[in-house]
Every structure is written in C-alpha cells, then in structure tokens.
Amino acid sequence: MAKLYFYYAAMNAGKSTTLLQADFNYRERGQRTMLFTAAFDDRFRTGAITSRIGLERDANPIEPNTDLFATIAAAHAKEPVDCVLVDEAQWLSRVQAFQLAAVCDELGIPVLTYGLRSDFQAKLFEGSAALLAIADTLVELKAICACGRKATMNLRVDSAGHAVKEGAQIEVGGNERYIALCRRHYAEAMDLKHGAAMA
C-alpha cells in the first residue's frame, strides 16, 4: 500500500535537501516523480525547490485552489507517476492534505511531504496539523540550536535580530528572518517565563 509521509522539522534542518535527494534516488532508477511547492514562495524563484547547499529542481506551484488529486491523477493517466514529493507542506490547506492521502489510497502512489511543524508563535500550521493527523509515517528531521541541543522551534526576527512576537502566520523568509532554537532558548527569546504562553 502506498503511504503518505510527513517529514517535519524546524528551519535549517535540510528538509528541501532531503526531498531533492529522495527525488534523485527515484529518477536514478528510471522512475517518474512529480514535485510540488507553494506558489508564493519566491525566495529563489517561483516553482522551484531550492536547498541552502545549492541543489535545485523545478516543481509544480501549489495555489490555494490547486486540486492536488486531480492534477496528479491527470498526469498519472498520461504517464505513470512513481512518487509525489511536496516541499513547504505546512502551507497546504487541510483539503489539500486529504487530497494527497487520496493519491496514496486511490492511485497507489506514495507521497512524501516536507515542512515545518509549527510557526514562530509555536502554533501548528494548517497543513502540518492535517499531516500530523493523517500521515502514515511521521519523520522528524533534526536541526541544531546554537547551544547544541535539538532545535524544535522557529524564532522570527526583525532586521536587528530581535524576536518578533506578533504578525501574520505566513511570512516567507530564510536565515535573515528565522532562527531554529531549542525550546528553552526560544522561550527566553520570547520572554516566556514560568510556563507563560502567548495568546
């Protein structure tokens, strides 16, 4: 049975690099893949999955109204698809996450999704919440805090490097906007004392 995988981590854990390596492995064996990423992620260029170590591959852009099941089913009908890989999966809608599950269940194609678990306020993204609930396999990729502990949190910073505590959940950015931290150092940066939580 084809499975839905969710590989999740904090920033800078190598999610895109891992995705591109998996894609290479499939293609090296003569298998066909379909790659997807968020249309509004234009840090490098729209419709591209790019890793910090310089790997890059074209991908199908996902818009809020993209029907992933229909898109993949149509491509699969023309030429069999062996694997679907989705970057920035945290920005999927709940409906799109279920469409990917249907790709596994109805089309028999494995789907590998990669994304953040939570945002800069320690809240789940819609896509991440859905994938954590329905994925067959959950895999945590490791990022490292400056202290050496496992980084699980994403701190958003301003241009001066100060913690940002409010704002839109989605703001595209890389190392200039986000720092991966362990929970302890995230709490210190956000001034969360004695178990206090943000609203």
Q: What are the per-10-residue average pLDDT scores of the chain (199 residues)?
A: 95 89 95 90 66 76 95 98 96 97 98 95 95 97 94 90 81 74 93 73
Cβ(57)–Cβ(49) below 8 Å: yes
Concatenating the DSSP letter of every residue in the chain gives ---EEEEEESTTS-HHHHHHHHHHHHHHTT--EEEEEETT--SS-TTEEE-TTS-EEE-EEEPTT--HHHHHHHHHHHS---EEEESSGGGS-HHHHHHHHHHHHHH---EEEEEESB-TTS-B-HHHHHHHHH-SEEEEPPEE-TTSSEE-EEEEB-TTSPBP-SS-S-----TTTEEEE-HHHHHHHTT--TT----
Specify the pLDDT at position 44.
60
Q: Which domains does the chain have, with CATH numbers?
A: 4-142 (3.40.50.300)
Specify the pLDDT at position 42.
60
Specify the pLDDT at position 198.
64
Specify the pLDDT at position 41.
65
Spacing of C-alpha 167 from chain mean position: 20
Task: Name the token pair of 19.
Answer: 């995705």
Specify the pLDDT at position 102.
98
Cα separation, 97 vs 108, in Å, equals: 16
What is the set of active-site residues?
88
Specify the pLDDT at position 111.
98
